[in-house]
Amino acid sequence: ETLDELLPEAFAAVREASKRTLGMRHFDVQIMGGAALHLGNIAEMKTGEGKTLVATLPAYLNAIAGRGVHVITTNDYLAEYQGELMGRVYRALGMSTGIIISGQNPDKRREQYLADITYGTNNEYGFDYLRDNMAQSAGDIVQREHFFAIVDEVDSILIDEARTPLIISGPASGEANRWFTEFAKIAEKLQPVVDYEVDEKKRTVGILEPGISKVEDYLGITNLYESANTPLISFLNNSLKAKSLFKKDKDYVVMNGEVMIVDEHTGRILDGRRYSEGVHQAIEAKEGVQVKAENQTLATVTLQNYFRLYKKLSGMTGTAATEAAEFMSTYKLGVVPIPTNRPMIRMDQSDLIYKNEQVKFAMVVEDIAARHETGQPVLVGTTSVEKSEYLSKLLAKRGIRHEVLNAKNHAREAAIVAQAGRLGAVTVATNMAGRGTDVMLGGNSEYLTFEVLEKRGLDSVENPEEYEAAWAVEYPKVKEQVAQEA
* Nearest one of 392, 459, 483, 445 to 22, comparing CA atoms: 445
**Residues 39, 149: one domain?**
yes
Q: Give the pLDDT score at 200.
A: 87
Q: Give the pLDDT score at 432.
A: 64
Q: What is the Cα–Cα distance from 49 to 469, expressed in whole angstroms?
A: 29
Q: Is residue 73 part of a domain?
A: yes
Q: What is the Cα–Cα distance from 454 to 448, expressed in whole angstroms?
A: 10
Better-scored residue on pLDDT, 345 or 237? 237
pLDDT tens string 157-174? 899 888 888 888 776 655
Q: In the 8-state DSSP scheme, what is residue 176?
A: P
**Does residue 315 have a pLDDT over 60?**
yes
**Residues 35, 153: one domain?**
yes
Q: Give the pLDDT score at 337.
A: 94
Which of 70-84, 290-304, 433-447 has the least mean pLDDT?
Answer: 433-447
Q: Is residue 347 part of a domain?
A: no
Q: Is residue 271 part of a domain?
A: yes
Q: Give the pLDDT score at 27.
A: 96
Q: What is the Cα–Cα distance from 435 to 153, expressed in whole angstroms?
A: 7
The pTM (predicted TM-score) of the whole model is 0.74
Q: Give the pLDDT score at 352.
A: 93
Over residues 41-50, the mean pLDDT reads: 91
**Does residue 302 have a pLDDT over 90?**
yes
Kindly report the number of other CB atoms within 10 A of residue 214's CB atom: 18
Query: Per the structure, how many domains does the chain have?
Result: 3
* Side-chain-side CA neighbours of residue 103 (13 Å): 4
Q: Give the pLDDT score at 60.
A: 98
Q: What is the Cα–Cα distance from 400 to 369, expressed in whole angstroms?
A: 7
Q: Is residue 207 part of a domain?
A: yes
**Does residue 447 have a pLDDT over 80?**
no
Q: Give the pLDDT score at 474.
A: 85
Q: Give the pLDDT score at 369.
A: 95
Contact between residue 206 and residue 196 where contact means Cβ atoms under 8 Å apart: yes
**Does residue 176 have a pLDDT over 80?**
no
Three-class DSSP category at 313 = strand
Q: Give the pLDDT score at 477.
A: 86
Q: Is residue 45 part of a domain?
A: yes
Over residues 451-478, the mean pLDDT reads: 81
Q: Give the pLDDT score at 434.
A: 59
**Residues 285, 161: one domain?**
no
Amino acid occupying residue 196 = Y
Q: Give the pLDDT score at 178.
A: 78
Query: What domain range is 49 assigned to?
Result: 3-170+302-337
**Does residue 277 have a pLDDT over 90?**
no
Q: Give the pLDDT score at 151.
A: 96
DSSP labels, 351-395: P---SSHHHHHHHHHHHHHHHHHTT--EEEE-SSHHHHHHHHHHH
**Residues 27, 142: one domain?**
yes
Over residues 400-425, the mean pLDDT reads: 82
Q: Is residue 350 part of a domain?
A: no
**Residues 288, 306: one domain?**
no
**Residues 76, 207: one domain?**
no
Over residues 105-130, the mean pLDDT reads: 95
Beta bridge partners of 101: none
Kindly report the number of other CB atoms within 10 A of residue 400's CB atom: 17
Q: Is residue 352 part of a domain?
A: no
Three-class DSSP category at 301 = strand
Q: Is residue 195 part of a domain?
A: yes
Q: What is the mean pLDDT of the chain?
A: 89
Q: Give the pLDDT score at 78.
A: 86
Q: Which range is most confident: 164-173, 277-286, 363-372?
A: 363-372
Better-scored residue on pLDDT, 35 or 167? 35
> Residue 284 maps to which CATH number?
3.90.1440.10
Give residue 481's pLDDT band: very low, low, confident or very high (50, 70, 90).
Answer: confident
Q: Give the pLDDT score at 174.
A: 53
**Residues 11, 144: one domain?**
yes
Which of 328-337, 338-347, 356-365, 450-459 has the least mean pLDDT?
Answer: 450-459
**Does residue 238 have a pLDDT over 90?**
yes
